[in-house]
Structure 1
Amino acid sequence: MDDFSSISLLSLAMLVGCYIAGTIPLAVNFSEEKLKLVTVLGAGLLCGTALAVIIPEGVHALYEEVLEAGHHAHGQAEVSAPDQKAINSEVGPSHDHAHSHEELHAFIGFSLVLGFVFMLLVDQIGSSHLHSGDDPEAARAATSKITTTLGLVVHAAADGVALGAAASTSQTSVQLIVFVAIMLHKAPAAFGLVSFLMHAGLERNRIRKHLLVFALAAPVLAMITFLGLSQSSKEALSNVNATGVAMLFSAGTFLYVATVHVLPEVGGTGGHSHSAGGGKGLSKVEVLALVIGCLIPLLLLFPSRISMEQPDFTSADISSKVQLHGVLWKKSSGRQSAKWARRFFIIKDSFLLYYAENEKRNFEANRYFNIHPKASGVIPLGGCVVEPKEEQGMPYAILLNHGDCNGDIVLAAESESEQSQWIDMLEDSGKVTWKNAQLGEAMIESLEAQGLQLAKEKQEYLDKLMEETEELSLQREQKAELERVNQVLEEEKQRFEDVLMELRAEQEQIKRDLDETTQCMKGVESEKERLNRLTSRLQQSLEELSKEKQRTLDMLRKKGIDRKDLEDQASAPDPKCPKAQEQLQGNLRNIEEHMMCILCEKKQAEERMKENEQRAHVLQEEREFYSTQAQALQKSLTQLTADKQQAEAELKAEMESRAEIEHRLKMAEEALRNLEQGLNCLERSRERDERMIGDVSHLRRKHSLSFTGPHGETPSLEDPKESTWCLTSGTCFRQNSKACKAISTAQSED
C-alpha cells in the first residue's frame, strides 16, 4: 500500500472514531449531577491525555530520531575507515551525543511553551473581541466555549500536521505510532469537549457542529500536510524532527485548554466560572471521576507501550547467517603493548567483526548480532595473510597481516584445534575479494554466454529433431496407407483371378455351345438338302401324274366320254359299262388320289422348308451372337490379363517402395537416436558434432527427395471393377446358349 492510501485510511478512521466518541454524551440524557460528573470525567481525560500521552510521545519521537541518526552516522564512520578506527574502536558516549541531548531539551521546552503561548494569544484575541458587548457574563461564557473549541481544534490541527509529517517519512511504523497516540487522546478529547459544551448549556445542534469541526480538523490538516510537502520538504522535516515538534506543540495547546478552561469550569473556581456552587470545589465522587479520567489514558497506553518496547531485531540487527563465531584473545595494537583482552568475534562473509565479550550472550540468545554496539571493530579479510604464531603466554596465536592496515593484528585461541578452525575459516573468507568478485563475474558471464550458445544449439537441434520426427510420422502414415493399398490390391487381384476363372469356364462352355450349334446347322443343311430333293421328286411325280391324267382324259375323250359324265359315273357307277371303261375310271381315281397325296406331301415339305429356313436364320443369328460374344470375351480376357500384369507391377513397385521406406525409417530412427544421445551428452566434441550435423543433413536430403513428389498415384479401382462388372454380365451368354440348345433339340426331334 502506498503512502497516499495509508494516510487516507488513517484520516477516515480518525474522523469516524472521533465523531462516534463525541456523540456518546449526546446519545444519553443526563441530569444536572450526572452531566457534571461526566464533564469532570472528560476533564480528567483531557488532563491525563495531555500529560501521559502527548508529551511522552513527542519526547519519544524526538529521542528516537536522534538515536537513529547517531547510529547511522556511527555506522558510516566504521565503513569509511575500516583500518585503524574500525580495528581499535572501543566507543563510549561521545560529546556529539551530549550536544544532541541538549538540543533536544531546548526543542521540548520551546515546543511546549510555543503551543501554550499560541493558545493564550488566541484566547485573549477572542476575549477582547467578545468583551466589547453589553453582557460581560454572557461574553465570558461564549468566550469560554469558543476558546475551548478553538483550542481543541488547533490542537487537533497540530495532531493532523504531526500525522501528515509522519506519513511523509514513508515509515509505516512511525505512522501507526502517531495514529495510535492521536486516537488515544482525540477520542477522550471529543468526549470531554461535548461534555463541557453540554455543561455550558450549548444547544445540541451547535454541539454537533463544534464536534464535526473538531473531528475534521486533524484529517484535513493531515491530508494538506502530506500533499503540500515536496520530497525535499519531507527530507527537511525528517532532519529537524518535525513529528516530535508538532506533537509537543499540540501538547502545549492541549495543556492550555485543560488547565485554563476545563478544570476551572468544572471545579467552580477561577474567573470564568458560572456554576451555582461558587467556590465549593469538587465532591468526593467528582474527584474520583477526575482521577479515573486522568488514569484512563495510562491504562489505554500501557498495552501499546509494552508492544513498542519489545526489541525489534528484524529491523535493527542482521540475521546471524555467519560462518563462524566465538571468543578469542585480542592483543592491543600498540607497538610495545602486551595487553590481551577477550573479545567476541564473528566471521561474516569477508569481514571479521569483534565485540565486547558480553555480546556473545545476546547473540546466542537472539541469533542476531548488533550493528550498533558500544565497542566493536571490523577487519576486512580480503587479501589478508593469516599465519599461526606463538606469543608469550599464548601458544595458539593467529597473525593477521593486511596491506591496508598499519601493523599486524594478533589473535589467540584456547587450543590448537580451535586455532586451526579459525585459520581455515579466515583463509576461506579472505578469498572473497573485489578481484575475485570481478573474476567470478567474468567467469559467470562467460559461462552464461556458453550456456546461451549451448542452449541455442540445443534449441536448433531440438527444432531439427521435431522436424525429423514430423517427417517420420508422415512416413509412418504413408507406410500405413501403402499397406492399406496393398491389401486392397491383393483383394482386387483375388477378385480378378476369380473372374478370370469364371470367364475361362464360360469361354469353354461357349465353345461347346458353338460346336453344338455348328452341328445343328450342319444337320439343318442336310435336312434342307433332303427336303429339296424330296420336293424335286414330288414335283416330277406330279408332272408325271399330270401327264398320265392328261393322257387318260384324252383317251376317254376319244371314246366320247365327257369328263363330267366320267365324274358322274364315278360317283354313281353303271353296271352296264364295259370293263375297260371301269379300269380307266379306277386308274383316273388312283391318279387323282395319288396327286392329292403328293400335293399334301408337297405342302408339308414346303412348310418344313419354311421351318428349316427359319431355324437356319435363328442358328445364323445365334452363331453371329456367339461370335460377337466370343470376340468381346477375348478382348475382356486380354484387358484383364493386362490389368493383372499392371496390378502385379504396381504391387511389386509398392513392395519395393515399402522396403525402401522401411530402410529409410530405420536409418532415420538410428540418426535420431544418435542425435538424442548427442544432445543429452554433457561432453561435446567436434567429431560428434560433425557426425550429428551429417546425420541431420543426410536425413533432410533423403526426406526432401522422398517428399518432392508422390511415388505414384493410388491405383484407381474403378477400371478393374468396371471390367469385372462387364465380364460378369456374360450370364446372358448362358441363357442364350440354353435357348439355342432347346431350339436345336426340338428341331432334331421334328
Structure 2
Amino acid sequence: MSGKDDDLFFVTNVQKAGILFKRPFLHVSGKWQRRFFVLKDGFMLYYAEKEAKTFAETGNFNIHPKGVIPLGGCLVNHTTETDKPYAISINHPDFGESNVIVATDTEESLKDWIDKIKECTRITYKNAQVGETMIKCLKAKSEVIEEQRKENQEKLEAETLALQEERELREQIEEQLRQLQAEKEAKEQEAMQLKEREAEQRQSAMEERAMSLEQDRKSTHQQLLDAQTQMQTIAHEMESASTTAEQLQVKLSEAQLERQRAEEQALRESEERLKLEKKLKLAEDALLRLDKALRDSGVKRSELVAADVKQLKSFFEDVLDDQFWDSQKSIIMESAVKARPEYQSFELRTAVDAKKKEVKARGGPRTMAQSTSSANSGDGSVGGGSGDGSVGGGNADGGDGDVVTAPAQPVE
C-alpha cells in the first residue's frame, strides 16, 4: 500500500487500516489475495477488499471479519522467503509450524505496518480480556449504532421519499408553470402577431387610402386644370362669339340697310318696268298697225323697209330684255339678302351678269313681239292687216311716205 492509501484509511479509533496481500495460513505456496486489514488494540482483523470503501466512508469497521489474528506475544519480522520483496512474517508458538504472511507494495509501507503490528503485540492477556470486553462493548455499541443507522436509514429513506415526492410535485408544478408560461408566451406571441397584423392592415389601409386620396387629388387637380382650360377656351370662344356677334350685328344692320335700299330700288324699278311695259305695249301696237297698214296697202315692201322694221324690232327686243333683267335684279337681291346676311353688292352684280350670259346663251327671253311675229309672219313680212296709225314720218295708208329708220321714241 502507498502512503496515500494509508492516509486515506487511517482513523483515530484503530491503530491502522489498509490493503495488504495475504497468503493462505496453511498453504505456504498458495495464491496471494488482496484483503482489507484493521489493527485494533491486540488484534489484526481482515475483510474482503470491498470493505475498505465502507470503512473509508463511515469510519467504522465491520464486527464480522473474515478472520481475526491475536497479536499478543507474536514475533513480527521482515521476510524474504517469498516472491514478494516487502513481506511480513507473524509467528507465535500457538500457531504451530505455520506463520501468518502478509505483504505490502512499498518499503515505507512495510516499515509502518511492522511498527504498528509490533505495538499491538505488546498487549498482554489481561489487555486481551479487556480487549475482548471492549469488543463486546463495541459489538453492543455497534448494534445500537446499527439500529440507529437503520432508523436513520429509514428516516433517510422516508425523507428521501418525501423529498422525492416533493421533488416530483415540484417538478410537476414547475412543468405546469412551464406549460403555463409557454401558453402565456404563446398567447402573448399570438396577441403580438395579431397586433402586428392589425397594425400592418391598418398601415396598408392607410397607405391605400393615402394613395386613393392622392389619386383623387391628382384627378381633382387635373379636372380643375381642365376646367380652367375649358373656362379659358369658353372665355376665348365667348369673346370670339361676342366679336363675331358684333360683326354679325354690324353686317346684319348693313344687310338690313342694303335690303331696305334694295326693296326701295326694286319698288322704283317695278314702277319703271310698269311704265316701260306700257310704252312697249304702245310700240307693239304701233308695229302691229304699221304691219297691217303695209299689208292692206298692197305695196311691195322693199329690203330697206324690211331692214328698218327688223332694226326697230331688235330695238324693242333689247329694251324688253333690259327691262326683264332689271326686274330680275331686285328679286335676286332680295333672295341674296335673305340667304346671306353678309351679302355684298359685288357678288350680286357677278351673279346677275352670270345669269344674263346663261340666258343669252339659250337664246334670250321670248318677247311679245316675237310671239306675234312667229304667229303672223309668212315670207318675212312683219304682222298683217291694215291700220290707220303711222310710225315716224310714214303715212298710215301706205302711200309713198318714207319709213323712219331710226327707232321712234316711245309715247308716254
TM-score (norm 1): 0.24
Structure 1 or 2, whichever has the larger Rg, is 2
User: Which gives a bigger RCO, structure 1 or 2 (Cα 8 Å, sep 6+)?
Assistant: 1
- Per residue, is there more helix in 1 or in 2? 1
TM-score (norm 2): 0.40
